[in-house]
């Protein structure tokens, strides 16, 4: 029996049983019986008078899959989330949830938004931008991160630890339900799917078969669902490089405890220097996430002594960069090739009863801070579209509409992320002649950055008065500073360097 995450069941009716029986009869060669309680039957906490409760299978229980499940549950759908890991662990560092992503959260659940605020830190009142990697001088600041939300009534962007956001999403699934059932199933890896005349069945690696009205692949950049849909095997390194696009960088990262008041004043900053760049994003409890983007060729072997290599590479860089590398233990440095996806302009990421969502169809560079936001937008749009149709026969048309609605926006954001990376490659050789950079680019780049952030934030379905956001940000900043100082004190009391 697969492990399950137990969440409350939000319903009093069960149309799932009749639909699953009907769909199941279309396949007479199944290897395993279908359990009758695979789906959560839900009561729509909004208005469920217009649509049936479709049975939706979600492959992937990460941030994208969990948020989609919340959107679907609140729109009256029956949901099961299949996650391949055996248990959730507190892994991952801070990520940005920008105004567009947070606006979608507000639109779906104000309670979830408040839960997220309670474990995050604000960008309001901090400084973000690009710094000279050698001198640490600020070259350009991203004032638009706070100016745009303040002037246009959007929720302010925040920084939240990935595991904290995941926990908040799981708690929300539990909160919006009233009876016990399996919403998120762990240790439930998808092996394959088969689309039928009406609906889809999904085979798990343990041989179990589930039936539903549609399947959503929210299982990340190396999506099993995408691999089958596009015929892109991605089991080996060679196959992955063939299926995705190498960005020209190998990414090294760490999350050490670092005692520095400077990091309390920073939202995030990118130190750029010869060939490489180094991104810093303070986390909760005195930890600081850093990412070293090292210029590389495709499929370079893993570095055996990453800390030694990074120490040498950044020997002449700013003291903040060297301090963070020094504070990180060798076995805590993570490294990987940095890949993204070419926008799927020529081929739809949806078929009759299957669609992709999030990183599985539009993985972006991390420097744009939009991966989670775009995935949340996807979930919000898909759930809204499903709530507007009356029968299962409309699903194939709806999924193509979903693709056409989302492809342009996601492609533009993907392009902006890659453009940022390429711009840094062009900019770093010019650093020795800083006066030329300052003269030619300083007047132009603030406007470019403003337009970039304005477009990313433009999908925001709620309005929040600026004074409300500022008051909330002040409370968050006070809590964040207290947590950080407590962590520093605890570290000193235990004699840990």
Does the structure show a pLDDT above 60 at 219?
yes
**What is the residue extent of each domain of the chain?**
1-497
pTM beyond 0.75:
yes
442 pLDDT band, cuts 50/70/90, is low
Q: What is the mean pLDDT of residues 383-399?
A: 94
Among 48-52, 241-245, 281-285, 309-313, the minimum mean pLDDT is found in 48-52
Of the candidates 106, 71, 80, the residue with the CA atom closest to the CA atom of residue 176:
71
> What is the band of 353 on the pLDDT scale with cuts at 50, 70, 90?
very high
Give the per-residue pLDDT at 493.
Answer: 64
Residue 300: predicted pLDDT? 83
The fold of the 1-497 domain, in CATH, is FAD/NAD(P)-binding domain (3.50.50)
Q: For the chain, state the CA radius of gyration.
A: 23
Q: Is the pLDDT of residue 25 over 70?
A: no
Please calculate the CA angle 33-3-204 and round it to the nearest 5 degrees. Answer: 45
Report which listed range, 9-23, 167-181, 382-396, is most confident: 382-396
Q: Are strands 277-282 and 266-272 parallel, antiparallel or unpaired?
A: antiparallel
Residue 443 is predicted with a pLDDT of 66
Q: How many CB atoms lie within 10 A of CB 276?
A: 24
pLDDT score, position 431: 62
| 234 has a pLDDT exceeding 60 | yes
pLDDT band of residue 337 (cuts 50, 70, 90) is: confident
Among 94-98, 378-382, 436-440, the range of highest mean pLDDT = 378-382
H helices present in 75-154, as ranges: 99-108, 110-117, 144-152
19: pLDDT strictly greater than 60: no
Across the range 174-189, mean pLDDT stands at 79
Res 494: pLDDT? 57
Say whether pLDDT at 224 is over 80.
yes
pLDDT on residue 414? 92
Q: Which two structure tokens, joined as six digits, stand for 235?
A: 């089991």
For every residue of 33-88, DSSP letters joined together read PPPTT-SBP---SS--SSS---EEEEE--SHHHHHHHHHHHHTT-EEEEE--SSS-
Neighbours of 43 (CB within 10 A): 18
Read off the tokens for 144.
Answer: 């638009």
Could you tell me if 142 and 96 are in contact, meaning their C-beta atoms sit under 8 angstroms apart? no
* 3-class SS letters over 387-425: CCCCCHHHHHHHHHHHHHHHHHHHHHHHHHHHHHHHHHH
Q: Are 388 and 381 in contact (CB under 8 A)?
A: no
More confident residue, 45 or 61: 61
Q: Which pLDDT band, with edges at 50, 70 and 90, does 91 fall under?
A: confident
Q: How far is Cα 448 from Cα 55, in angstroms, rounded to an integer?
A: 44
Q: Is 80 exceeded by the pLDDT of residue 83?
A: yes
Place 341 in a pLDDT band, splitting at 50, 70 and 90. confident
Q: What is the pLDDT of residues 469-483, one digit of tens each?
A: 999 999 999 999 999
Residue 141 has pLDDT above 70, yes or no: yes
pLDDT band at residue 298 under the 50/70/90 scheme: confident
Q: Which residues of 306-332 are buried (b: 16+ CB within 10 A; e: fewer)?
A: bbebbeebbeebbebbbbbbebbeeee
pLDDT of residue 16: 33
CB 55 within 8 A of CB 36: no
**Cα→Cα distances 279→288, 295, 320, Å:** 10, 14, 11
| Mean pLDDT of the chain, nearest integer | 84
pLDDT tens digit sequence for 104-135: 999 999 999 999 999 999 999 899 988 989 99
Q: pLDDT category, 427, cuts 50, 70, 90?
A: low
Q: In the predicted model, is pLDDT for residue 338 greater than 90?
A: no
Q: Which one has a higher pLDDT value, 371 or 41? A: 371
């Amino acid at each position: 029996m697969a492990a399950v995450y137990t969440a409350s069941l939000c319903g009093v009716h069960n149309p799932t049983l009749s639909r699953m029986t009907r769909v199941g009869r279309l396949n007479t060669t199944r290897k395993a019986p279908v359990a009758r309680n695979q789906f959560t039957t839900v009561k729509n906490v909004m208005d469920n008078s217009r649509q049936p409760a479709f049975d939706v299978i979600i492959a992937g229980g990460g941030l994208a899959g969990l948020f989609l499940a919340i959107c679907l549950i609140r729109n009256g759908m029956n949901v099961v989330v299949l996650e391949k890991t055996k248990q959730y662990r507190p892994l991952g560092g801070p990520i940005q949830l920008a105004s567009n992503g947070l606006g979608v959260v507000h639109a779906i659940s104000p309670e979830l938004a408040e839960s997220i605020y309670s474990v995050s830190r604000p960008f309001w009142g901090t400084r973000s931008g690009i710094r000279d990697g050698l001198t640490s001088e600020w070259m350009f600041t991203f004032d638009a991160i706070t100016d745009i939300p303040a002037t246009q009534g959007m929720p302010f962007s925040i920084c939240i630890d990935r595991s904290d956001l995941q926990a908040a999403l799981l708690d929300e699934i539990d909160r919006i339900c009233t009876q016990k059932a399996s919403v998120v199933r762990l240790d439930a890896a998808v092996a394959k799917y088969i689309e039928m005349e009406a609906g889809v069945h999904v085979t798990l690696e343990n041989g179990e078969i589930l039936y539903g009205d549609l399947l959503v692949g929210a299982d990340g950049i190396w999506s099993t669902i995408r691999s089958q849909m596009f015929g892109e095997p991605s089991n080996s390194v060679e196959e992955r490089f063939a299926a995705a696009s190498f960005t020209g960088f190998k990414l090294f990262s760490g999350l050490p405890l670092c005692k520095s008041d400077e990091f309390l004043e920073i939202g995030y900053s990118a130190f750029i220097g010869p060939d490489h760049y180094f991104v810093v994003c303070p986390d909760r409890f005195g930890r600081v996430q850093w990412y070293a983007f090292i210029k590389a060729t495709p499929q370079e072997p893993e570095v055996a002594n990453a800390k030694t290599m990074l120490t040498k590479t950044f020997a002449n860089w700013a003291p903040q960069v060297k301090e963070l590398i020094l504070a990180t233990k060798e076995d805590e440095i993570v490294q990987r090739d940095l890949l993204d996806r070419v926008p799927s302009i020529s081929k739809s990421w949806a078929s009759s009863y299957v669609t992709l969502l999030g990183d599985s169809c539009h993985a972006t560079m991390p420097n744009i801070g939009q991966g989670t936001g775009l995935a949340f937008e996807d979930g919000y749009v898909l759930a809204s579209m499903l709530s507007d149709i009356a029968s299962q026969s409309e699903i194939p048309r709806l999924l193509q509409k979903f693709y056409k609605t989302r492809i342009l926006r996601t492609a533009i954001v993907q392009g902006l992320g890659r453009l940022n990376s390429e711009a840094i490659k062009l900019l770093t050789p010019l650093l020795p002649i800083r006066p030329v950079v300052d003269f030619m680019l300083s007047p132009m780049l603030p406007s470019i950055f403003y337009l970039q952030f304005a477009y990313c934030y433009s999908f925001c379905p709620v309005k929040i008065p600026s004074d409300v956001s500022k008051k909330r940000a002040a409370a968050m900043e006070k809590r964040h500073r207290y947590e950080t100082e407590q962590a520093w004190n605890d570290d000193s009391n235990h004699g840990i360097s």
